[in-house]
Amino acid sequence: MKKTFQERILFWKNRKTKQYPWLRLPIAAIALLCIVVCRIGILAAGNGKKWMSVGIACCFFLINSSFCYPETMQMSEDAGEKFPEVYEELDRLRQEDPDTDMLEKIWKENQAYLEREKEEQIAPKEAADETDETNSFDKNDWRLTLVNKQHTISEDYEFPLGTIKGNLQCDERILEDLNAMLKAAKEEGIDLNIDSPYRDYKTQKYLFNRKMEKYLSKGYSYLEAYRVASTVVTVPNASEHQIGLAIDFNCKSHPSLNEGFADTETGKWLREHCAEYGFILRYPKGKEYITGIIYEPWHFRYVGKEAAEFLTEKEITLEEFWEEYLN
């Protein structure tokens, strides 16, 4: 919560007033006494003008103390509601050192607060610059399409299906970068093999149901089986494989799709070079709570070179990218 110095001082004064509400009565009594004395003085000395001035001054004081104090107290309660942190801060300061001049201490704290504020003003500017830099990303860009359990594939999503080789297919528009990556790996002696690229709804449904049956046969309840299965195999219509932008890779020395692939030369090479060809490791370790999918060192997603390098450098998932830079 941001507090100006004036707010702090006002509150401090108000709190002090609130601590001594009994002051109001004696002040009013003293003022009344002054008027009485003035009146007697006028009568006794006959020096009208001089004593009248004193009387007016006393009346002013009386009015001031009678009307301003209750108002100030009301403000004090408001201040407590608006600035509860100030209450706590003052209590803390008092407890720390009851003898210190409170105003001086608040002044020092305020100086430190202003310094911090100045630094914060510099920081948001840098952040703004960064946002500008990412403004080149367009949320309608097909390469950035977000598909997960919360964002299933829309019914009208269309894309051109291209052939990698044989019956292996993917979005035709990623073929050039994908082939470049396969070629580069080959040239560097990396055994990079495509395990599973595009899958249609029927295949995804079959894979998911097969996993469901596995957990149901183990005695899981339907809901529990669904919960576990959906972290291992993507729910139909929530799979990036269905839009032809995801590829599962493996290698001869490690044909299984499991965590062990991460330690193979192929797995390491992919992590290091995929962004150069527009791919990202889509379900990284430690981000399962964001993606909703287990660590999959074999599953890579095409997002385009610019976004791939941005996401890799920032170490963020596609979900975080959408949340922070595209919404």
Residues with a known catalytic role: 296
The distance of closest approach from Cβ of residue 242 to Zn ion in the complex, given in angstroms and rounded to an integer, is: 11
Query: In the complex with Zn ion, which residue's Cβ is closer, 51 or 298?
Result: 298
Residues 67-126 that bind Zn ion (CB under 5 A): none
**Minimum gap (Å) between residue 87 Cβ and Zn ion:** 55
**Shortest distance, position 8 Cβ to Zn ion, whole Å:** 57
Q: Which of residues 246-275 bind Zn ion (CB under 5 A)?
A: 248
User: Which of the ranges 176-184, 203-211, 271-279, 295-303 carries the binding residues for Zn ion, by CB under 5 A?
Assistant: 295-303
Kindly determine how many residues on this chain lie close enough to bind Zn ion according to the rule CB under 5 A: 2
**Applying CB under 5 A, which part among 11-19, 141-149, 186-194, 294-302 lies near Zn ion?**
294-302
Amino acid, res. 75: M
Nearer to Zn ion, 248 or 276 (CB): 248
Residue number, 7 or 195, with CB nearest to Zn ion: 195
Cβ count near 127 (within 10 Å): 9
Rank residues 233 and 311 by Cβ distance to Zn ion and give the closer one. Answer: 233
Question: Site mask, Zn ion, residues 18-57, x = CB under 5 A?
Answer: ----------------------------------------
Minimum CB separation of residue 106 from Zn ion in Å reads 59
The residue of the chain with the least Cβ separation from Zn ion equals: 299
User: 248 vs 259, which CB is nearer to Zn ion?
Assistant: 248
**Which segment (41-49, 59-67, 89-97, 245-253) binds Zn ion by CB under 5 A?**
245-253
**How near is the Cβ of 256 to Zn ion at its closest, in Å?**
13
Q: Which is nearer to Zn ion, 37 or 257 (CB)?
A: 257
Q: At what angle do helices 175-187 and 265-273 cross, to 10 degrees?
A: 130
Distances (CA, A) of 239 to 151, 195, 202, 302: 10, 16, 12, 13
**Is the sign of the CA dihedral 139, 142, 144, 149 positive or negative?**
positive
Neighbours of 311 (CB within 10 A): 22
Minimum distance of Zn ion from residue 219's CB (angstroms): 28
Query: How far is it, in rounded angstroms, from Cα 125 to Cα 132?
Result: 11
* 299: contact with Zn ion by CB under 5 A: yes
Nearest distance from C-beta of residue 232 to Zn ion, angstroms = 11
Q: What is the C-alpha to C-alpha distance for residues 42 and 40, in angstroms, rounded to an integer?
A: 5
Binding to Zn ion by CB under 5 A, coded x per residue (else -) over 198-237, reads ----------------------------------------
Stretch that binds Zn ion, among 14-22, 86-94, 292-300, 306-314 (CB under 5 A): 292-300
Residues 6+ apart with CB under 8 A from 232: 211, 294
Q: Which is nearer to Zn ion, 287 or 299 (CB)?
A: 299
State which of positions 127-186 bind Zn ion (CB under 5 A): none
Q: Which of these segments, 139-147, 244-252, 287-295, 318-326, binds Zn ion (CB under 5 A)?
A: 244-252
> What would the two tokens of residue 282 be?
């889509």
The site for Zn ion (CB under 5 A) is made up of: 248, 299
